Amino acid sequence: MSDEDLLNPPRFEAQLLKKQIISILTAWGMALEEADIASTVMIETDLRGVDSHGINMLRQYEETFKRGALNIKAQTKIIRDRSTTALLDADRGLGHPVSVQAMEMAIKKAESYDVGIVCVRNSHHFGAAGYYAEIAARQGFIGIVTTSTRGISMVPTRGTQPVLGTNPFAFAAPAGKYDPLVLDFATTVAAVNKVKVRKLRELQLPDGWVNDGDGRTIFDPNEAIRIFENKSFGGLNPVGGIGETLGGHKGYGLAIFSHILSGAMPGASFSPVRVKNSNADTPDDLGHYFQAINPESFRTKEEYENDIEVVIETLRSVRPSDPDKPVLVPGEPEQISRKDRQKNGIPVNRNLRNLIKEITQNAGVEYLLNQ
């Protein structure tokens, strides 16, 4: 095996990878219906080029399951259900199935009352926030999603120690004849899992992702991961960077409000507090926030769509600084990746294949990714 496997790894059909994920999740004890939902979210994420939140996450899920923190046979409970809002308890389960349910509930409420908001507590990692926001957009609604996080990785502006997670936001909007606009971003410069992907690909980190607590940039992903695990000094920079000059305080502030919506409001845990009093089997108790807004509550569908189409066409007509790199709209890079990977397969390098192979062996299921 050569470095070519890392630079240009073999590709695998999406359905094969989905079959592999389902085999592992069901071997752990997850019901087939829930495993199908979780694997769909994960593979759709990989198709869109967000390699940090797809099949790559199996290692984290296995670790959480093995230490008894993840309830693989969770039964979602409806705690509160009002006309425009609801609160769900995920029963310590994996976040993907309950999140699809929550966004579908929010959409149904928006169909009747123009706005629907559903929060989730007692959950675990749910993948890419943009997936759920786009569910709303595909049905004609504006979707807004955010989540609290398990990790403690962001160093706040003027700080030296990590105290918040990557606390993402996602927005999606129907766009008439075009694919939905989808904006999905961590409130840190990069997500922890993107650092892990760089490690798997044996690549250095870009300047400005991680600092050592004294303001110096960390380039080695292995060193960065040690910093994340230590949780006492250094970590990810907020969106905008380490200081205030380029707006780092804005990324920090967004992270706080992400937790207010998805953590404090539904009653989920705050990671820096939880870890001080946790055991190995303590669940992550993450919270998620899902909102659907009906544009037709303000104007006709045709009027709205015409305006969005004009916005997209205006942005795409901007003269690019590099003729080979046209101006794109939010969600377009992921759609480009999806078309390529649907046709040519999802790349999986040898380090990730080795991880998946080990997980299948641990689960007692067939390894499907032999070249």
pLDDT tens-digit readout, 167-195: 999 999 999 999 999 999 999 999 888 99
The DSSP bridge pattern shows strands 115-123 and 85-89 to be parallel
Per-residue b or e along 232-251, where b marks 16 or more CB atoms closer than 10 Å to that residue's CB: eebbbbbbbbbeeeeebbeb
Instruction: From 114, 140, 110, 76, select the one nearest 288 (Cα to Cα).
Output: 76
Write down the pTM of the prediction: 0.94
**Residue 231 pLDDT:** 81
Say which amino acid occupies 43.
I
Say which DSSP state 21 is in: H
DSSP state of 262: I
Structure tokens at 106: 């929010």
Task: Determine phi and psi for 355, rounding to 5 degrees.
Answer: -65, -45
Helix 332-344 and helix 32-47: axis angle, to 10°? 110
Nearest by Cα to 30 from 94, 103, 92, 95: 94
Residue 1: per-residue pLDDT: 40
DSSP state of 264: I
Residues in the chain: 371
Q: Is 42 exposed, middle or buried (0-12, 13-18, 19+ CB in 10 A)?
A: buried
User: Domain map of the chain by residue range?
Assistant: 9-332+347-363
Bridge-partner residues for 210, per DSSP? 218, 236
Residue 253, Cα to own-chain centre: how many angstroms?
19
Which conformational region is residue 240 in: left (phi greater than 0), alpha (psi within -120 to 50 degrees), or beta? left
Supply φ then ψ for residue 93, to 5 degrees: -90, 170
Res 280: pLDDT: 84
Residues 6+ apart with CB under 8 A from 264: 270
> Which of the residues in the chain have pLDDT under 50?
1-2
The top-level CATH class assigned to 9-332+347-363 is alpha beta
**pLDDT reported for residue 274:** 85
pLDDT at 349: 94
What pLDDT is attached to residue 193?
86
Residue type, 203: L
Q: Where in the chain does DSSP place strands (E)?
A: 11-12, 77-81, 85-89, 115-123, 142-147, 169-175, 178-185, 210-211, 217-218, 235-236, 286-293, 346-347
Report the DSSP beta bridge partners of residue 348.
none
